[in-house]
Amino acid sequence: MSTNAIKEVSERLVKAGRELHEQGLVRGTSGNISAKIPGTNTFLIKASGVRMRFLKPEELVLVDLQGNKVKGELNVSLETPIHSAVYGARSDVQAVVHTHASTATAFGIAKTEILPLQVEMFMLLPKGVPVVSFEQPGSEALAEAVQRKIMGYDAVILENHGVVTVGSTIEAACNLNGMVEEAAKIQFLAMTLAGRDVLDLAKLKEKFKTENTLE
């Protein structure tokens, strides 16, 4: 396993984790972030109980795709099963981000999916962001529920728990997480102004008239 590859991924994860905090998507020790090591069956993930704001390379733990610790002094994140499940389901995914973005999390509590009301969001997430029914944090049941849903989506809301996004790069997964939170804010305002009538995916597809949809 290349030491240089681990070092590069570590540095990118540290930078991304701090940016997630700066954007207000995580607070304290909440949330987790991971990325695969290219050419291996392992990934780095933020250790349990450490803060994104001050994340350091030594606070990342190397685990295999089954979630077993391979290297690292600290304990693996409680939510490692989610990350393992996502990588097992999606060979195209290289990074997973889980935050407690406030507005999007509120939508999960309300069991309300986020729809791509603005055209930019539609191009990225044409089917919107569904809600995964509540399961206990860290449980295999939650990991399995996320795995089933992530097969058809790049972002999901965990009921009463936060947001999970995936990407082909660390930066893409982080950017998508921020966009989901922005979309949630826009949807909340739109519903406040116009009611739930704005929530019509079929009409959105017709309005935007794009073939960039996932059926």
* 30 domain residue, yes or no: yes
DSSP string, 63-85: EETTS-EEE-SSPPPTTHHHHHH
Which pLDDT score is estimated for 90?
Answer: 96
Per the CB < 8 A criterion, the answer to whether 131 and 114 are in contact is no
Q: What is the pLDDT of residues 18-53, one digit of tens each?
A: 999 999 999 999 999 999 999 999 999 999 999 999
* 215 domain residue, yes or no: no
Pairwise CA distance, residues 133 & 196, whole Å? 21
* 213 domain residue, yes or no: no
* 80 domain residue, yes or no: yes
Q: Is a pLDDT exceeding 90 seen at residue 199?
A: no
Q: What is the pLDDT of residues 109-151, one digit of tens each?
A: 999 999 999 998 899 899 999 999 999 999 999 999 999 999 9
* 90 domain residue, yes or no: yes
Pairwise CA distance, residues 201 & 167, whole Å? 23
Pairwise CA distance, residues 22 & 77, whole Å? 21
Q: Is a pLDDT exceeding 60 seen at residue 55?
A: yes
Q: Can you read off the two tokens belonging to residue 138?
A: 């860290």
Q: Which domain holds residue 181?
A: 3-208
pTM of the model: 0.92
Which pLDDT score is estimated for 214?
Answer: 42
Which pLDDT score is estimated for 196?
Answer: 84
CATH number, position 7:
3.40.225.10
- Mean pLDDT of the chain, nearest integer: 93
Which pLDDT score is estimated for 150?
Answer: 97
Q: Which residue has the tokens 């790049």?
A: 154
The total domain count for the chain is 1
* 134 domain residue, yes or no: yes
Q: Can you read off the two tokens belonging to residue 95?
A: 């990074």
Q: Provide the pLDDT confidence category of residue 200 given band limits of 50, 70 and 90.
A: confident
Give the strand pairing for 131-132 and 155-158.
parallel
Which pLDDT score is estimated for 106?
Answer: 97
Of 9-18, 100-109, 203-212, where does mean pLDDT reach its minimum? 203-212
* 33 domain residue, yes or no: yes
Which pLDDT score is estimated for 3?
Answer: 86
Which pLDDT score is estimated for 213?
Answer: 44
* 214 domain residue, yes or no: no
